[in-house]
Amino acid sequence: MARTSIVIVGAGIMGQGLAEAVANSGTEVTLIDKTTKLAEQGVKGISESIDREIERWGLTKSDKKAILSRIFPSSDLSETEDAEIVIEAIPEDLKLKRALFERLDKICKKDAVMITNTGTLSISEIGATTERPQKIIGMHFLNPVTKIPLVEIVKGLKTDDATFQRAVEFAELLNKKWITVHEYPGYVTTRIIVPLLNEAMHVLMEGVATAEDIDQAMKLGFGFNVGPLTLADMMGLDVVMSWMENLLEELSEHKYNPCPLLRKLVRAGHLGVKTGSGFFEYDEEGNKLEGSGLATGMAKSGA
Amino acid sequence: MKILVINCGSSSVKYQLIDTDTETALAKGMVSRIGMSASVLTHKPHDRPEVKVSGEILDHIVAIEYVVAMLLSENHGVIADRSEIEAIGHRVVHGGEKFTESVLITPELMLELRNLIDLAPLHNPHNIRGINACQKTLPGLPMVAVFDTAFHHQMPPKAYIYGLPYVMYKRYGIRRYGFHGTSHQYVAEQASQMLGKPLEELKLITCHLGNGASVAAVDGGVSVDTSMGFTPLEGLLMGTRTGDLDPAIILHIMAREELTLHEANTLLNKHSGLAGISGVSSDMREIIESAHSNHSNARLAIDAYCYRLRKYIAAYAAAMGGLDALVYTAGIGENSPDVRECSCENLEFMGIRLDKAKNNQAVGQKADISADDATVRTLVIPTNEELVIARDTKRIVEAAK
């Protein structure tokens, strides 16, 4: 078993999930963010995520020690110099991603595989900022990374087969099932879930049913683990809106136009679980408060 | 022939270098706490004092490298060159129905072992990791896999079938397999020597009480029933495993706490048993200490542990229609007079009676601890799975030449 040198850039929620998944597979990983403080906050986030999993019986205290011992926080992008695999997990913004890959291209060794973790953006466009577009590949992990067993492996126009094969091996290291996606806006998961979420928001806004009932209907009626409005809250309403805007811009189709209710909530700073309020209300630990769902687009239920 | 015997656990590697000509261990030791910050390698050459080295040993490959370096070391080593090691024997937990005896490790076998991971997800991956680590550190040596399940393969269908639709057995191989076979086999043979009677004429109950624990009914040298089942989770209460459980309980908990399969599996295997009940530790010594200082759940854990063991002993005597000797082995079995005494309580009616003094004296050594007038002998026999593995390895490697 070769010890792979894996580096993750971006210690936000996705970066944390990826670092935990890599470390849990028994492999060491470096977690980089802009400042040491941010990178260390990332490790703290992982530590808290493991604590929650211990409470849910999924891990033990000795697992925690072992996992954390394999994660090295850093603020030094030059640590990607000798890496075999570099995974970008910074915010979903094409400008930021392009700027990062331009820098990585100058630091990383020639045969390193560079993975961008994006749900909607163009791999080819990100790859074009580098002199090695054949080594750039997309891997769309879904949040929470440690729990969702799927990853979309996204081939850009120039991605070569060897790079694809390395991405497959990386997916297998993390024990994920993978599907192959040929680059197209939204891939499979985002493209299909986004209109569904948007439609649920319209149904709510038009006063057809309460948020609770809409989620209940989709859970029980179609076997969803989580209802669409709760799912949107979990993903982050700002994130959902940015996906829609990306899709709208790329494909110019009306169906990707964000529901006015979504725009309204995002403008008000109600971004879902992370702010404690979205289509539902949440306590500090992110648990949904019973009966807190919106009754229509305008009022709380029971109000 | 000098044979390196490897037993890989999740966070430990136990090893012995055995000279099969003299059947003695030239050195034995263990790397523990692999993956944790303070890993320890304990190494004992047969003719010199034990040494301990601590360091950061993050995986099994590094652990095997440490072991080989120790065997070669100038001060603590027992061989001058790594070529003196002629073969490696590996303990492998699950052999399924396919492997009823030890086999030479080949690339094809490795594939089959991987297919068996579904049957023993907690153990076979570590065993496979150990084999891979040895292939990397000591390339080219013949290696043999010795299965924990093999000794139980003659169990009759009435003992191995579960009360599920029969098609589950046909479809997924769901049946009792049993584990710790090498240990049960070894102590049964030793008991026959101690009693001066051929194994074929003996009805024995062997209790392997380690971190994992199982009981076997050995009738005429054949394991006819054993407490571990489809996986090593069934049967006795263990360090962190539930042992026997109403299967509806786990469905109920999964629904109440919305647990995933993985979480439920970890709950049963790593958060339960002695550790789960006592809340103190998974280590019987620490639990006994806590019980002495009136920790009520520690006391409860010990009582539940011994009570269940006692029920199994009586049940297996019934299964065989009699009993000549009861054997205790492995960490707790060899070293805990308390557990032996408590688990034998109330068994006088079937002829089991301990001599208190002899029981208290028998710590980590062979002993007959029964009272003089007991009709069933109770024995303490230190297990030696490594020797069985070395013998099998020698036989198979020589046959392959």
Tens-digit pLDDT profile for residues B76-114: 999 999 999 999 999 998 999 989 999 999 999 999 998
The alpha-carbon radius of gyration of chain B (Å, integer) is 21
Answer for the pair B181, B152: CB distance below 8 angstroms, yes or no.
Answer: yes
Using CA coordinates, name the residue in chain B closest to A147: B260
Establish if B255 touches chain A: CB-CB under 8 angstroms.
no
Q: Is the dihedral of CA B281, B287, B293, B296 positive or negative?
A: positive
Q: CB–CB of B59 and A1 under 8 A?
A: yes
Nearest CB to B37; choose among A28, A59, A65:
A65
Residue B178 within a domain: no
**A303: pLDDT strictly greater than 50:** no
Q: CB–CB of A1 and B11 under 8 A?
A: no
Establish if B53 touches chain A: CB-CB under 8 angstroms.
no
CATH of the domain spanning A6-182: 3.40.50.720
Q: What is the pLDDT of residue A297?
A: 57
Same domain, B264 and B339: yes
- Which residue among B82, B113, B147 closes a domain? B147
Size of interface A-B (CB pairs under 8 A): 45
User: In whole angstroms, what is the distance from residue A274 CA to residue B250 CA?
Assistant: 32
Residue B11 within a domain: yes
Q: Which residue has the higher pLDDT, A133 or A186?
A: A133
Percent of chain B surpassing pLDDT 90: 84
Mutate to test the interface with B, among A55, A57, A67, A174 (most CBs of B within 10 A): A57
pLDDT interval class at B191 (50, 70, 90): very high
Chain A residues in contact with B59 by the CB 8 A cut-off are 1, 26
Chain B residues in contact with A70 by the CB 8 A cut-off are 58
Using CA coordinates, name the residue in chain B closest to A56: B263
Establish if B36 touches chain A: CB-CB under 8 angstroms.
yes
Cis peptide before B337 (omega within 30 of 0): no
- The arithmetic mean of pLDDT across residues B262-285, rounded, is 93
Q: CB–CB of B59 and A26 under 8 A?
A: yes
Q: Can you name the residues that pair with B91 across neighbouring β-strands? A: B146
Using CA coordinates, name the residue in chain A closest to B134: A1
Nearest CB to B36; choose among A57, A58, A65:
A65
Q: Please give the C-alpha separations between residue B122 and each of A3, A293, B9, in angstroms, as whole numbers.
A: 22, 42, 9
- The arithmetic mean of pLDDT across residues A13-26, rounded, is 93
Stretch(es) of chain A classified as CATH 1.10.1040.10: 190-275
**B304: pLDDT strictly greater than 70:** yes
- Which residue among B112, B128, B147 closes a domain? B147
Mutate to test the interface with A, among B39, B137, B249, B263 (most CBs of A within 10 A): B263
Same domain, B124 and B21: yes
Using CA coordinates, name the residue in chain A closest to B133: A1
**A136: pLDDT strictly greater than 90:** yes
Q: What is the pLDDT of residue A298?
A: 55
Same domain, B26 and B134: yes
Chain A residues in contact with B117 by the CB 8 A cut-off are none
- Long-range contacts of B103-110, Cβ-Cβ distance < 8 Å, separation of 24 or more: B103/B144, B103/B145, B103/B396, B104/B142, B104/B143, B104/B144, B104/B396, B104/B397, B104/B400, B105/B131, B105/B142, B105/B143, B105/B144, B105/B145, B109/B145
Please give, rounded to a whole number of angstroms, the shortest distance from the CA of A64 to a CA of chain B. 9
**A3: pLDDT strictly greater than 70:** no
pLDDT interval class at B36 (50, 70, 90): low
Please give, rounded to a whole number of angstroms, the shortest distance from the CA of B4 to a CA of chain A. 21
Q: What is the pLDDT of residue B35?
A: 65
Q: CB–CB of A57 and B267 under 8 A?
A: yes
Same domain, B221 and B285: yes
Tens digits of residue pLDDT in B135-179? 999 999 999 999 999 999 999 999 999 999 999 999 999 999 999
Number of compact structural domains in chain B: 2
Q: Which residue has the higher pLDDT, B33 or B3?
A: B3
**B211: pLDDT strictly greater than 90:** no
> Which positions of B are annotated as active-site residues?
148
Residue B170 within a domain: no
Mean pLDDT for all residues in chain A: 91
- A84 CB neighbour count, 10 Å cutoff: 17
**B352: pLDDT strictly greater than 80:** yes
Mutate to test the interface with A, among B259, B270, B280, B283 (most CBs of A within 10 A): B270
Q: Which domain holds residue B303?
A: 197-385
Same domain, B229 and B287: yes
Please give, rounded to a whole number of angstroms, the shortest distance from the CA of B262 to a CA of chain A. 6
Stretch(es) of chain A classified as CATH 3.40.50.720: 6-182
- Which residue among B78, B112, B147 closes a domain? B147
- pTM across the whole model: 0.83
Nearest CB to A57; choose among B61, B132, B271:
B271
Same domain, B137 and B236: no
CA dihedral A239, A240, A245, A250 (to 10 degrees): 100
**The CATH number of domain A190-275 is 1.10.1040.10:** yes
Tens digits of residue pLDDT in A154-177? 999 999 999 999 999 999 989 999
The CATH code of the domain that includes B122 is: 3.30.420.40
Residue B171 within a domain: no
Chain A: residues touching B (Cβ < 8 Å): 1, 26, 28, 53, 56-60, 62, 65-66, 69-70, 147
Same domain, B367 and B236: yes
Q: What is the pLDDT of residue B32?
A: 86
- Three-state SS letters, chain A: CCCCCEEEECCCHHHHHHHHHHHHCCCCEEEECCCHHHHHHHHHHHHHHHHHHHHCCCCCHHHHHHHHHCEEEECCHHHHCCCCEEEECCCCCHHHHHHHHHHHHHHCCCCCEEEECCCCCCHHHHHCCCCCHHHEEEEEECCCCCCCCEEEEEECCCCCHHHHHHHHHHHHHCCCEEEEEECCCCCCHHHHHHHHHHHHHHHHHCCCCCHHHHHHHHHHHHCCCCCHHHHHHHHCHHHHHHHHHHHHHHHCCHHHCCCHHHHHHHHCCCCEHHHCECCCEECCCCCECCCCCECCCCCECCC
Nearest CB to B35; choose among A58, A66, A147:
A66
Residue B161 within a domain: no
Tens digits of residue pLDDT in A37-87? 999 999 999 999 999 999 999 999 888 988 998 899 999 999 999 899 999
Residue B169 within a domain: no
Same domain, B202 and B139: no
Mean pLDDT for all residues in chain B: 94
Chain B residues in contact with A58 by the CB 8 A cut-off are 259-260, 262-263, 266
Same domain, B130 and B241: no
Chain A residues in contact with B35 by the CB 8 A cut-off are 26, 62, 65-66, 69
Q: CB–CB of B35 and A69 under 8 A?
A: yes
**B321: pLDDT strictly greater than 90:** yes
